[in-house]
Structure 1
């Protein structure tokens, strides 16, 4: 808190000094960028814009603003396959010595799921379950016969998959020791700009 007050005090002294000389303090809109892997990011402050290249760790707007001018840095265009959020991007020039916004970008993520058939309850009415695993880091989903109608229904993994990331879905074998044998179709691929919903889990009575 003391540093914030000190910064504001320095800015006010600078503004007062320049005002006495007939001018206004000028401030540069700038900040840091984290995890920008793709191109296309454009930031805006009103009509002033700046394009930020992939891999950049900082940005600076071409136009400075006068002391006391309000600013609001926004994402005009997200980078390809990513979304970005801004922290500290609005305020009034002169409240602190410098304007330092923080831009953090993340890869877009999408759901992974599909349909199941043949997952019926046991003869005594007990629900049967099957667990699917998406690789070692993509999470798992447990599907119950109680969640379908006549052994059929849909399912979605709770863990989403990032754009450009591969997925590989398999059946966890211990869950199939209940009188059913289950297989997965369309279980491998690469996530790309849309949710995947064409996985098919098919269960049949174990011979």
Structure 2
């Protein structure tokens, strides 16, 4: 009987030293921050090499905030790392992810960099100068006689919409097949047609 109590006491002590492994936490402080660039699938974060926390875009709070479900203790060391990231990013970096808690930790930054792809197409019948194409804040001036154009690359899964800001004198140019969501490959099939 004594050995049974002894084993139970050892198990309780082990849980007290590693609460997350036993399904609970006695911490009082939040551990979290902000995630940038999470647009699809999921990211898996860890604290101190364990405590996997899977986050999807729909789980983020206002301002793209996140918090680990387990609280941490006062004066507890933490080290937040990225275990895995979505397929549409090249990687994610962690800023302010290491320290020792004194108050709620809310300043961790997870910055994910989206893969980018080329956006462009062909131009027909461009006679003069003055053709200007825009995609959001990106603006490209196309020289007379050009038969193709290239915009700044667009992040995967990001919206794009190319429009004609201005046409050459005595011509009218329109863009077709020019809006949508950037996929997993370059998009070079936008068509700009100028008349007469």
TM-score over 0.5 for the alignment? yes
TM-score by length of 2: 0.56
Could you tell me how far apart the structure 1 residues matched to 2:190 and 2:148 are?
12
**RMSD of aligned Cα (Å):** 4.2
In the other structure, the counterpart of 1:177 is: 169
Aligned residue runs from structure 1 range 36-75, under 5 A: 38-48=40-50, 49-53=52-56, 54-57=58-61, 58-60=66-68, 69=77, 71-75=78-82
Q: Which stretches in structure 1 are left out of the alignment for 5+ residues?
A: 1-22, 123-127
Write the deviation string for residues 29-57 of structure 1: whole angstroms up to 9, x where unpaired.
Answer: 71134576644121124531222243233
In the other structure, the counterpart of 2:143 is: 144
Could you tell me how far apart the structure 2 residues matched to 1:89 and 1:45 are?
9
Could you tell me how far apart the structure 1 residues matched to 2:177 and 2:119 are?
11
Could you tell me how far apart the structure 1 residues matched to 2:124 and 2:79 are?
52
Secondary structure (helix, strand or coil) at the match of 1:131 reads: strand
Does 2:108 correspond to 1:102?
yes
- Structure 1 residues 99 and 47, CA gap change in structure 2 (3 angstroms): same
In the other structure, the counterpart of 1:6 is: none
In the other structure, the counterpart of 2:31 is: 30
In the other structure, the counterpart of 2:181 is: 190
Could you tell me how far apart the structure 2 residues matched to 1:66 and 1:201 are?
61
Could you tell me how far apart the structure 1 residues matched to 2:75 and 2:179 are?
56
Does 2:150 correspond to 1:155?
yes
Secondary structure (helix, strand or coil) at the match of 1:119 reads: coil
Secondary structure (helix, strand or coil) at the match of 2:167 reads: helix
